[in-house]
């Protein structure tokens, strides 16, 4: 298992997204009939072949305006997929959930990490679970509110943005408050990854600014995960639907890596792996003799 404290030097990790949902904003949801587990396993195999380092399995859509589901339904979606992947591969698996009950079932099925889009604030049991199991946890910044969502047919949902006195400063403060929750429960500092929460409670301009200034989040001293893949800030910037946002995603990844991202969360693994290897090579050349 990859551990945040032992990320490989000089190499950006790629996390492939497996959405076991019928309503993913990106159009890649797998819970749409047929043998969902088989379809997810085939996609996981392809991601692994394409060079993914981590697979992120989620059973509830977090797109703007999406509906919540019960923990029981979420478990029914993700656990069989995690079990099937684990039977074939030792790849690191994270479970994308904010519910401790789901995370516990996923870890029992073979997942390694918890990826919490509410950074331990939605379920007070999550921090205790992470500490007890030793699972690394991704803490994502999130000030989303359902009433702040703008919906446009081609471009999808976009948050109007939360009230920030100082965008970067407020994001830093919020993330460190979640770090404190984690550490108070007993989660080691070296098991924590931070995510600035691109697309969650931020306007288009705020998302762009967060990526451009990601190095300021990096100063907090934790590995950073960046997840801009196919998100609506790209669609609104380029006037493109989710299926046409690859180039915009890759541009965001390139800047994010240059600004300090250690892990990138993506739908298009093959292209992202090539992008990360090229950006890593360019950045690594700075310290090499000519």
Q: Are 76 and 156 in contact (CB under 8 A)?
A: no
pLDDT tens digits along 259-279? 999 999 999 999 999 999 999
The answer, yes or no, to whether residue 173 has pLDDT greater than 50, is yes
- Please give the angle made by the CA atoms of 116, 119 and 253, to the nearest 5 degrees: 70
Sign of torsion, CA 252 177 200 4? positive
Q: How confident is the model at residue 13 (pLDDT cuts 50, 70, 90)?
A: very high
Average pLDDT, the chain: 91
Confidence at residue 26, expressed as pLDDT on a 0 to 100 scale: 45
Active-site entry in 43, 99, 231, 245: 231
d(CA 77, CA 97) in angstroms, rounded, equals 12
Confidence at residue 66, expressed as pLDDT on a 0 to 100 scale: 59
d(CA 245, CA 237) in angstroms, rounded, equals 10
Q: How confident is the model at residue 22 (pLDDT cuts 50, 70, 90)?
A: confident
Q: Are 16 and 51 in contact (CB under 8 A)?
A: no
Confidence at residue 21, expressed as pLDDT on a 0 to 100 scale: 85
Q: How confident is the model at residue 16 (pLDDT cuts 50, 70, 90)?
A: very high
d(CA 93, CA 98) in angstroms, rounded, equals 16
Distances (CA, A) of 175 to 159, 257, 263, 267, 285: 19, 20, 17, 25, 32
Confidence at residue 286, expressed as pLDDT on a 0 to 100 scale: 81
Enter the pTM of the model: 0.92
Active-site entry in 77, 202, 259, 265: 265
The answer, yes or no, to whether residue 44 has pLDDT greater than 90, is yes
The answer, yes or no, to whether residue 85 has pLDDT greater than 60, is yes
Strand partners, 61: none
Annotated active-site residue 213? The verdict is: no
**pLDDT, average across residues 110-124:** 97
Q: Calculate the CA dihedral of residues 41, 45, 46, 49 and round it to 10 degrees.
A: 170
The answer, yes or no, to whether residue 25 has pLDDT greater than 50, is no
Q: How confident is the model at residue 32 (pLDDT cuts 50, 70, 90)?
A: very low
Confidence at residue 46, expressed as pLDDT on a 0 to 100 scale: 97
Q: How confident is the model at residue 230 (pLDDT cuts 50, 70, 90)?
A: very high
**Of the listed ranges 14-23, 126-135, 163-172, 183-192, the one predicted with least confidence:** 14-23
Q: Are 258 and 9 in contact (CB under 8 A)?
A: no
The answer, yes or no, to whether residue 33 has pLDDT greater than 60, is no
Q: Which CATH class is domain 13-277?
A: alpha beta
Q: Are 5 and 190 in contact (CB under 8 A)?
A: yes
Percent of the chain scored above 90 by pLDDT?
Answer: 82
Backbone angles phi, psi at 271, to 5 degrees: -65, -40
Annotated active-site residue 265? The verdict is: yes
Domain ranges of the chain: 13-277
């Amino acid at each position: 298992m990859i551990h945040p404290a032992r990320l490989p030097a000089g190499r950006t990790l790629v996390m492939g997204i497996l959405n076991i949902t019928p309503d993913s904003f990106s159009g890649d949801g797998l819970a749409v009939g047929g043998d969902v587990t088989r379809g997810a396993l085939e996609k996981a195999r392809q991601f692994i072949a394409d060079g993914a380092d981590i697979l992120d399995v989620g059973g509830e859509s977090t797109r703007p305006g999406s509906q919540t589901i019960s923990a029981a339904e979420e478990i029914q979606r993700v656990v069989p997929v995690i079990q099937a992947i684990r039977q074939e591969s030792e790849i690191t698996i994270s479970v994308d959930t904010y519910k401790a009950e789901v995370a516990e079932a996923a870890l029992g099925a073979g997942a390694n990490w918890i990826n919490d889009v509410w950074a331990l604030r939605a379920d007070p049991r999550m921090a205790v679970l992470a500490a007890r199991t030793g699972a690394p946890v991704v803490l994502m910044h999130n000030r989303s509110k359902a009433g702040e969502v703008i919906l446009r047919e081609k471009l999808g949902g976009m948050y109007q943005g939360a009230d920030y006195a100082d965008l970067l400063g407020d994001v830093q403060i919020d993330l460190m408050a979640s770090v404190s929750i984690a550490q108070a429960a007993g989660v080691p500092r070296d098991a924590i990854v931070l995510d600035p929460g691109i697309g969650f409670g931020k306007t288009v301009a705020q998302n762009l600014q967060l990526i451009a200034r990601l190095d300021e989040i990096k100063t907090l001293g934790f590995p950073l995960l960046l997840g801009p893949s196919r998100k609506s800030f790209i669609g609104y910037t380029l006037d493109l639907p989710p299926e046409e946002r690859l180039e915009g995603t890759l541009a965001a990844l390139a800047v994010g890596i240059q600004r300090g991202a250690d892990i990138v969360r993506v739908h298009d693994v093959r292209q992202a792996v090539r992008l990360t290897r090229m950006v890593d090579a360019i950045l690594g050349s700075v310290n090499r003799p000519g």
